[in-house]
Amino acid sequence: MPTANDKLEPVFLLCPKNLASNCEEFLSSGERKLETWIKSNNFQTVDFEEKDAFFNINSIADLGKI
């Protein structure tokens, strides 16, 4: 899982296919926070030094910030 600015970026990750049913069970239980599921499994992080690598764009104004 990538990290940027000392923050986990759980939406972007490489995950083995054998965890698919485990993820389905997690979601079926009503859980939705992906980071919780990831932390319950063996994971490694990769640090991205580019501070804006995962900049969140939610509006036209945000586009001007990058």
DSSP 17: G
- Name the residue with higher pLDDT: 36 or 53: 36
Q: What is the pTM of this model?
A: 0.67
What whole-number distance in Å separates Cα of residue 63 and Cα of residue 57?
6
User: Is the torsion defined by CA of 57, 63, 65, 66 positive or negative?
Assistant: positive
pLDDT of residue 53: 84
Strand-pairing partners, residue 4, are 7
Owner of token pair 């599921």:
37
Q: Give the count of beta carbons closer than 10 Å to the beta carbon of residue 18.
A: 7
| Residue 49 contacts residue 24 (beta carbons within 8 Å) | no
pLDDT of residue 24: 96
Domain count, the chain: 1
User: In terms of residue numbers, what domain contains 26?
Assistant: 2-63
